Amino acid sequence: MASIRRFFYSQLFVTPPKPTGDLTGKTVIVTGSNVGLGKEAARHFTQLNASTVILAVRSIEKGEAARKDIESTTGRSNVVKVMQLDMSSYKSVLDFAQKASKELERVDIAVLNAGVTRAAWEVFEQDESTITVNVVSTFLLAFALLPKLKETASKFNTRPTLTIVSSEVHEWATFDERKAPEGKLFERLNEKVVNGKEVSLNNRYQVSKLLEVLFVRAFCERYPESQIPVTVNLVNPGFCHS
């Protein structure tokens, strides 16, 4: 009961303060930033005087609409730029990372926010779509951007940040797939029907967020602060209108 009370208290009665840091000269990437959390994060970064804010989005048209809205509310122009990124495609993920690495002088902050919660079973690439977008593509992009982040650290004597937008719902995941034989986890995650019942996609979203947490923890254990010049972390946005 204590955890339930804590959850509702933190979600309904605690409002985090708005960021106040100065991002002058910094370049920021936010994925899934044409709506919701990503768009509002991009708006904050723009308000904090970032020199370049990249909206990494699947739809260029929707991204341009978000760019115009952010510019109108912040009064800043020629800061927000739109780049295409389709997290359902590994090629798109790698193409985006390559383009960002070549065209951007620096990357100081990368917020990997793009994610899905699915109502119907679908396969993107070789995995169930929730796993492809929220887990595999997210960390494929993280690894693909890491060299540019490390280059930025060295070139500009700074410490970039790579942030994965996760969720507190990871605590609710039953994660029965963990019982899969060694090396067979993704095969188990691709089973649509288990014990005669279709897999709950609501639980699958929770599992995807748990895998994000486990992955980041494992990464940070293997590459501590002293070995890598990039801060890698997770954030829980909490209950919000998105």
Rounded-to-integer distance, Cα 16 and Cα 46, Å: 19
CB atoms < 10 A from the CB of 100, how many? 21
Residues identified as active-site = 166, 205, 209
pLDDT band at 14 (very low <50, low <70, confident <90, very high): confident
pLDDT digits (tens, 9 = 90+) for 75-92: 999 999 999 999 999 999
pLDDT band at 5 (very low <50, low <70, confident <90, very high): confident
pLDDT at 240 over 80: no
Q: Domains for the chain: give ranges and CATH numbers.
A: 19-235 (3.40.50.720)
pLDDT band at 1 (very low <50, low <70, confident <90, very high): very low
pLDDT computed for residue 238 by the predictor: 80
With CA atoms as reference, report the closest residue to 229 among 110, 139, 147, 113.
Answer: 147
pLDDT computed for residue 16 by the predictor: 82
pLDDT computed for residue 2 by the predictor: 52
